[in-house]
Structure 1
Amino acid sequence: MDTKMVSKSDFKRGYREDSIELKFEEKSCSPTVWRYAVVIVICVAAGVGIGYYVARALQTDRTEHSPYKHPQVLHGNLSQPSLFSPLSEDEINSVVDYCRRTNITSSDRSVPLFNRNKIVSLSLLLPSKDAALSYLDSGGPFPARFARVYVDRAQENSPYFAEYQIGPLRKTRMTHKVLRVIADYDRRPRTSSEAFQIEALAEKELEKLNDLLQECFGGIVGKGRRGITRFRISVSALSSEHGRLSSLFLLIPGKLSSSDILPVFATISHGGLDKSKWKVFDIYFFRQGPFANAEKLIAAYKSGTLELFKFPKGYVDQIRPSRNYERHTNQPLRKHASKRPPKTVEPEGPRYTLTGNLVDWMGWSLELSVNNYHGPAIFNIRYKGERIIYENSLSDLTLLYSSLNTGAGMPLTILSDEIFRMAAFANVIQGLDCPEYATILNIATFSERQQAAFSRQGVCIFEADVQRPLWRHSGKVRSGMNNNYLNIRFPFSLGNYDYVFDFQFYLDGKIGTYATASGCLYTAFWFNDDETVGPEKSRTQFGFRVAEHSVGSIHDHLFAFKVDVDVVSRNNTFEKIHWRGGEVSEAIKSQTNRTLNISGIQFKNIRYLGYEKLKKENGIKIDSKPILWTVINEKLRNKWGNFRGIKIEHTQEYQEVLPNDHPALSAVPQMKYNIAVTKHRDNEEFVDSFQYDDRRLHDPIHNLDHFLNDEGIENEDIVTWMSVHFLHLPSNEDFPMTTGAPKGFLIKPLNFFDETPTFDMPQFDVYSNGTILNNPYSVNLNPYSSAEEIDRPDYV
């Protein structure tokens, strides 16, 4: 029994009045009446008080934000990680410990991290597809779990970068083998420890320009007296056939610093590990240069030969109020804006279950995963027990900017967010990234600086209401079905942009994959007397003016997805269905190869379908005429004899405009295509290797073009590589913050079923006189409503 200390006040609150006998000695009638009166007054006062309290509580419930207590999602336990689940914290730390014990990495803290053998990143190394499907479909053994570990071997006599396979995980005895060696050390991936060293050297060199910067822009680089503006240094990789180069920009500090770039640009060479050989060179000031170093530029400034560009006095302080995330108080608040908006709720709790990273919902089953470099992935997607997709994963996110001025686009600015390691999550903001009722999952990731694992609340799962019917029909009975879907959402924060990736699963078998970009712009410098711009100075050939000295440079966000479609089995065929127009005789001949005269045809021309199987691997561009992309299983037919399959609908309607020999298209060939189809190979895991290739655009290690080598793909295990372009022409509505629009693709069943698969779900049926036949979810319907009588032809 627990013994607790009880205070006198606690004792009094717990004291039972009926435990003793109360005796009143009545002396006269008058005191008795008085006592009754007091009791009545007290009761009335208490009643008034309680009434006021209840009314106040009800009013507070309407006006104050009180969280709704949502029922918990159903969870199941796993004795071990599932097949595709990302590495856990324990697994990551066991790999870190193994690498130290086997001297793959070093724990000698007397050596700076930059110069030390260290892990840069690690992720689950996927098993072969044969092994995975043997386990999933045939009761084969569970494939051992291994980690792919990216290691910077900086302490070797000839430093190099390597990828290791380490495992089996969760076993007492682990081993390792080398998967890849990058002998050209200067093409190693970007690391945070190197970025710190670059910025330190850049600051030391550029602070020599402080007299110039102070006079022209009212600030300095490096340390200075309190209250003075300190400009930020931005570093961006440059492609080069020799050495390791990056570009340097100066930014006005603030929450939106990438939107305010100074007309100062330089190049830094930082190859190898000997920082004494690093140097800043080719410095430009307001399009003048290149100056070999800071001393040369400052000499031109002091001699008066440098043309100066100056901000108005106090410029930085003047623009500061508009460079934040807060509501602009100079604008009146919209009417009723303070009232809480409508929200979806789960009245009886979640309708999905979670077992580890396995998700089940309304006939769907799938497993979510993450790769540290490449981002989110969904595996083994089944609907009603049959596999539709083996893998749907983000593979790369590339941006190409255009400008002639300092900042975005100058010089060639091609960025891949892969270099930032796209699974370096920021915590989900519940109620913003995801509804308040969503389930939040922790994802383990890796800290290069700490050489240890840590977790983020990185993924959320929720069921959403589309707020329109999945289907409806009005006649003698008005009927329909609600359109709900399960959403698995991955929010990311990568530099100046934030992204949200949604994988959506619908009741009728559709799968939506969408990416949404938001955040603050990466701009280019603007000035009124730019001789490369025509008389209309508010807009240039590269974008609109969005701020005092900023142009919103045109750019794209290219999302590359790997979609390994398995229509029930691995043997599939890619077929294009052309939506054509022509004479009736052409339509007949396209199928029968015969010329027939058909009587009774009112019009000479007609629309018809043409079917074209893709026989070999190919990259496909969106055609100006309508085409349906489909993947079919020619060995499986539905009840009506049709091949079972899926069709792919793209949100995009345009192609790339750059010529194919542009360096960006050579390095990132997915820019050339809207979809590419290849035969599955276990070693063709990702669309490119941009973490190595961003500095060697001319010589990529591997990319999509390497996969397209004319292998036959009829009745084969095929992979579709989806390229989703978001072409962004920033306008004033994108400043100070860009509002995003989703881009992506939709996968729909194509004769996969014998009929619509939704008739195993409850639906609404309401008679025309208002009688409710079926009301599956107890929604309040008006019992007096009736079908509107409309004078119209009866087509039935």
Structure 2
Amino acid sequence: MELRTRPLVLLISTCSLAVLTCFYLFPFSNTGIDDRLRTKQKNSFQAPKENIWSELSNQEAKDVYEFVFDELSYLNLTKHPKSNRENFIVVLETLRPNKTDAVPYLRDDAAIPERWAMARVAQVMEDEPYMVHYMVGPLPVGSDTQVLPLDYVFNSGRNYVANPVQDFFAIMEFGLSLAENVSDITQDLLGAVVNRNDPSDPKGLLCWPRPSRIERGGLSMWFEFFRPGTASGARTILPQGIYVKVDASSHNTDDWTAGQFYYNGYLYDTENDFRKAWQKPDFSRAGINQDGSWTDTEDFESKPAGRELPPPVAVQPYGPRYRLDKEQKFVSWFGFEFYITTAQATGLTLFDIRFKGKRVMYELGLQEAMAHYAGDDPMQGGLEFMDSFFGMGLNMFELVPGYDCPAYADYLDSRFHQTTHSYEHPNSICLFEYTADHLLSRHSAQYSVTASRNTYLVVRSVSTVGNYDYTIEYIFYLDGAIEVKIRASGFIFGSFFAHTNEDEYGHRIQEALSSSMHDHVINFKADLDVATQENDIVRLAWEPLTKSYPWDGPEIEERNTMHIVEYPVEKETAMDWPKNGGEFYVVMSSEEKNAWGERKGYRIAAGTGMGSPPHLTILNSTTLGDSARWAERDLWVLQRKDNEPRSADPLNYFAPHDPLIDFTKMANHETLKHGEGSEYDGDLVVYFNLGAHHLPHSGDIPNTLMHTSASSVMFVPHNFADRDPSRESVQGVRLQLKGKKGSGGFAGEQSEAASGDLRTRVARRAEAGEGHKAMYFGQTYEEGMKLPLEALEPDLVGRFESEEIGVTDLGFNGSAAGLWEREQ
């Protein structure tokens, strides 16, 4: 624990703080399984090791809260904060163990790593509000438990960030006041005014800031008028085209001032200038962006042919074929094994992913989800979101059975702890097996046809951050491939259509609404351990070649052809998806080889989405600064280090030009050569991006559709096994066609004694020697099934547990910056 116990002299001097601180397959019979037996089998399955990355239990959180309140008593921490001028615990969660401590426990019989918690504290220092990170442990709380500054995971040299949001209520109050000051103008131009008594009045207006302009001395914000879109949650496609700049740099809210106004392509220096222009008879008016049925995401009335019948659904009549330890969140399926956990900022992460007993990844999970806009108005022109700031895990809400996931899926809860409270989101993770509408493999020979079903395992969650719903899934295939996939839906963040608009940043998509081009760049971490921890990465390049071959002459002197050239990646670097798919990126074991002498590897490839996942278009983003340099290329390969566990931190949002984690300090071209004489041990990590260049069009109204907004990256076995690993676990059939003797049969067909075995059983459609024959590999359905209605159409009224979903509104109050506001 050397990294964790390093004292933070800087924090002490600056902040005047004291440092106290086997693969299993259910043996189903051909006639089905008794539900009680199936339940017993599921419940009796146990993980081989404890989930050392799991969220804090409610009791652990309670004990840590009490301990921190006692140890940091000089801070006068409050349980019910009323402003950011008070000290309180914002976030409490597991501080995941260092890999150097975890691997010996997972691999050998070493002691279980110490368990620690991370506490993010809203803390006033030198009369300014900050967010400060602490580590608390070891757990359970005892005589040796300490509260220490958590600094080793940040390469900024500090564990704190200034909170520029001095008073969220003051921001909202100022917006209301400036809207009321121009209510005569808004009534004339927009046909509505703000309603102080009911800000969500569907007939009224909202006046909200763009929260991205965070300056070193405070805040400088552009406010925009919106209609609330209360019924459908459509506020982000209901901008009203009046913008007001507010200087909130002073800590004294009485000193805040409204400055420039912007409307219909014209910038006015003051409210008085805007008012004088409005009063002139030749004042140029824009349209009005009204709410209406066009924002409804449902149509209950239309009845095209076919809608009177429900669509096909998948069922699972014999129960799941994976095994799940719900307490440890450990899964086993056809050679794959892994642990599931969550975090408030990043949501779902998988650990210790193994295939056929060999670890292929230590960690696989989201790091940050960024959306960066462009436009010709003050809102869209500098708009960006870093969604871990709002919480991809905090906003993982309950999934809809039969819709988000099949009715038969297993559902897991997620837990989080804030301001001394513990919360649970029920059924926020689902796990299920699914058979695709396309085969895993097939082949037609002259007298036979072989078809193998493509069945895979999915772990899925949905994070709803404001206007967008991100479906994130990890998919496991029978051949050992792993896919990370993201799909987006929800309302776009549109811009107001003014008569001065051109199609430079988007398209006109409603009477007074324009789309805004934006990049979604969503960063993931893959800590690969392909068969061993010592790995190398190479580029296998397809290159043209002109070469003379002795067998070509004399007709051809030189042949134009191609060959593979291997380029070792010998230092930390960024890579983009190659032109024409002309390179393979393969992570290879430095030691392990298959039976043919080839190094075991996994290839990193663009997956099954809409195309190659993109990186950020904008160069040196004015808004992002150094907070998201990982977004500037497609993927990165780095040395893995305990003190570099993440590519980003949610509080980078507060300090974009001096972030807590600066990715450029991680990707600093260190060597990837290892072996004798090198301090680097060969343990590498890959950071890769998913997302899309999104140019919304009329089809994005009211919601973006998932099938056109999907992207993925796949990790595909490359010489990892001696042959296709799926052959022994896939389900399928071989049809032997009627033909001449010896034209091809079933292996071992003459051995009738084996006919009862599932892998060699022959099912004949006709008497021996007549017609076709079929042999099934794997289990088949033998009897008709009587399925309950619940298996086809779940009772959502009875099964859905959530009473209210606290979706963030993308304002400061939807983040840790305004967490205290929820206590009111």
Q: TM-score, normalised by structure 1?
A: 0.79
Q: Which has the higher contact order (CA 8 A, sep 6+)?
A: 2
1:325 to 297, 309, 329: 297
- Aligned partners of 1:150 and 1:162 also within 8 Å: yes
What SS class does the counterpart of residue 480 from structure 2 fall into? coil
- Aligned partners of 2:495 and 2:516 also within 8 Å: yes
Task: Indicate yes or no: 2:259 matched with 1:284.
Answer: no
* Cα distance in structure 2, aligned partners of 1:345 and 1:484: 13
* Cα distance in structure 2, aligned partners of 1:578 and 1:367: 35
Task: Indicate yes or no: 2:512 matched with 1:549.
Answer: yes
Task: Indicate yes or no: 2:710 matched with 1:742.
Answer: yes
What SS class does the counterpart of residue 368 from structure 1 fall into? strand
**What is the aligned partner in structure 2 of residue 566 from structure 1?**
529
**What is the aligned partner in structure 2 of residue 359 from structure 1?**
331
Q: How many residues align?
A: 684
* Cα distance in structure 2, aligned partners of 1:345 and 1:645: 35
Q: 1:207/1:370 Cα in 2 relative to 1: closer, same or farther (>3 Å)?
A: same
Q: 1:152/1:506 Cα in 2 relative to 1: closer, same or farther (>3 Å)?
A: same
- Aligned partners of 2:374 and 2:516 also within 8 Å: yes
- Which ranges of structure 1 fall in alignment gaps of 5 or more residues? 1-67, 534-539, 589-595, 782-796
**What is the aligned partner in structure 1 of residue 569 from structure 2?**
614
**What is the aligned partner in structure 2 of residue 89 from structure 1?**
58
* Cα distance in structure 1, aligned partners of 2:257 and 2:158: 20
- Which ranges of structure 2 fall in alignment gaps of 5 or more residues? 1-34, 675-681, 738-770, 784-824
Q: 1:746/1:452 Cα in 2 relative to 1: closer, same or farther (>3 Å)?
A: same
Structure with greater Cα Rg: 1
Cα displacement (A) at 1:394:
0.4
**What is the aligned partner in structure 2 of residue 56 from structure 1?**
none
Structural mapping, 1:428-447, within 5 Å:
428-447=399-418
* Cα distance in structure 1, aligned partners of 2:202 and 2:568: 67
- Aligned partners of 2:264 and 2:286 also within 8 Å: no
1:342 to 298, 307, 312: 312
- Aligned partners of 2:360 and 2:528 also within 8 Å: yes
**What is the aligned partner in structure 2 of residue 536 from structure 1?**
none
Q: 1:137/1:305 Cα in 2 relative to 1: closer, same or farther (>3 Å)?
A: farther
* Cα distance in structure 1, aligned partners of 2:633 and 2:491: 28
Letter in 2 for 1:267: K
| 1:552-605 CA-partner distances (Å, limit 9, x unpaired) | 1111110101111111111111100001122135xx9xxxxxxx8865886711
Cα displacement (A) at 1:684:
1.4
**What is the aligned partner in structure 1 of residue 276 from structure 2?**
300
Task: Indicate yes or no: 2:223 matched with 1:248.
Answer: yes
**What is the aligned partner in structure 2 of residue 693 from structure 1?**
652
**What is the aligned partner in structure 1 of residue 11 from structure 2?**
none
**What is the aligned partner in structure 1 of residue 633 from structure 2?**
673
Cα displacement (A) at 1:127:
1.0
Root-mean-square deviation (CA), in Å? 3.2
Say which is worse superposed, 428-437 or 496-505, in terms of deviation: 428-437
What SS class does the counterpart of residue 216 from structure 1 fall into? helix
**What is the aligned partner in structure 2 of residue 758 from structure 1?**
726
* Cα distance in structure 1, aligned partners of 2:248 and 2:522: 30
Structural mapping, 1:340-419, within 5 Å:
340-355=310-325, 356-407=328-379, 409-410=380-381, 412-419=382-389
Task: Indicate yes or no: 2:279 matched with 1:309.
Answer: no
Cα displacement (A) at 1:429:
1.5
| 1:122-174 CA-partner distances (Å, limit 9, x unpaired) | 33211111110010002111112212221110376454321011122333443
1:511 to 482, 492, 504: 482
Structural mapping, 1:696-715, within 5 Å:
696-715=655-674
Cα displacement (A) at 1:471:
1.5
Instruction: State, as a whole percentage, how many aligned pairs show the same letter.
Output: 21
What SS class does the counterpart of residue 187 from structure 2 fall into? helix
* Cα distance in structure 2, aligned partners of 1:194 and 1:183: 28
**What is the aligned partner in structure 1 of residue 689 from structure 2?**
723
Letter in 2 for 1:618: T
* Cα distance in structure 2, aligned partners of 1:297 and 1:224: 29
Q: TM-score, normalised by structure 2?
A: 0.77
What SS class does the counterpart of residue 406 from structure 2 fall into? coil
* Cα distance in structure 2, aligned partners of 1:123 and 1:453: 12
* Cα distance in structure 2, aligned partners of 1:71 and 1:156: 61
Say which is worse superposed, 242-251 or 126-135, in terms of deviation: 242-251
* Cα distance in structure 1, aligned partners of 2:161 and 2:256: 16
**What is the aligned partner in structure 1 of residue 174 from structure 2?**
201
What SS class does the counterpart of residue 150 from structure 2 fall into? strand
What SS class does the counterpart of residue 772 from structure 2 fall into? coil
**What is the aligned partner in structure 2 of residue 497 from structure 1?**
468
* Cα distance in structure 2, aligned partners of 1:721 and 1:687: 8
Q: 1:79/1:767 Cα in 2 relative to 1: closer, same or farther (>3 Å)?
A: closer
**What is the aligned partner in structure 2 of residue 266 from structure 1?**
244
Q: 1:451/1:278 Cα in 2 relative to 1: closer, same or farther (>3 Å)?
A: farther
Q: 1:758/1:736 Cα in 2 relative to 1: closer, same or farther (>3 Å)?
A: same
Cα displacement (A) at 1:100:
2.6
Q: 1:328/1:360 Cα in 2 relative to 1: closer, same or farther (>3 Å)?
A: same
Say which is worse superposed, 353-362 or 744-753, in terms of deviation: 353-362
Letter in 2 for 1:100: F
Cα displacement (A) at 1:640:
0.5
* Cα distance in structure 2, aligned partners of 1:480 and 1:282: 68
| 1:53-75 CA-partner distances (Å, limit 9, x unpaired) | xxxxxxxxxxxxxxx99965813
* Cα distance in structure 2, aligned partners of 1:444 and 1:657: 33
What SS class does the counterpart of residue 628 from structure 1 fall into? strand
Structural mapping, 1:575-614, within 5 Å:
575-585=538-548, 599=553, 604-614=559-569
What SS class does the counterpart of residue 154 from structure 1 fall into? strand
- Aligned partners of 1:238 and 1:695 also within 8 Å: no
Letter in 2 for 1:404: D
* Cα distance in structure 2, aligned partners of 1:282 and 1:695: 24
* Cα distance in structure 1, aligned partners of 2:723 and 2:683: 27
What SS class does the counterpart of residue 248 from structure 1 fall into? strand
Letter in 2 for 1:712: T
Q: 1:122/1:696 Cα in 2 relative to 1: closer, same or farther (>3 Å)?
A: same
Q: 1:645/1:225 Cα in 2 relative to 1: closer, same or farther (>3 Å)?
A: closer
Structural mapping, 1:464-475, within 5 Å:
464-475=434-445
Q: 1:767/1:396 Cα in 2 relative to 1: closer, same or farther (>3 Å)?
A: same
* Cα distance in structure 1, aligned partners of 2:459 and 2:48: 24
1:647 to 603, 616, 633: 603
* Cα distance in structure 1, aligned partners of 2:191 and 2:347: 41
* Cα distance in structure 1, aligned partners of 2:777 and 2:38: 23
Say which is worse superposed, 480-489 or 439-448, in terms of deviation: 439-448
Letter in 2 for 1:90: Q
Q: 1:671/1:166 Cα in 2 relative to 1: closer, same or farther (>3 Å)?
A: same
Q: 1:188/1:272 Cα in 2 relative to 1: closer, same or farther (>3 Å)?
A: farther
Q: 1:264/1:446 Cα in 2 relative to 1: closer, same or farther (>3 Å)?
A: farther
What SS class does the counterpart of residue 468 from structure 1 fall into? coil
Q: 1:290/1:99 Cα in 2 relative to 1: closer, same or farther (>3 Å)?
A: farther
Task: Indicate yes or no: 2:100 matched with 1:130.
Answer: yes
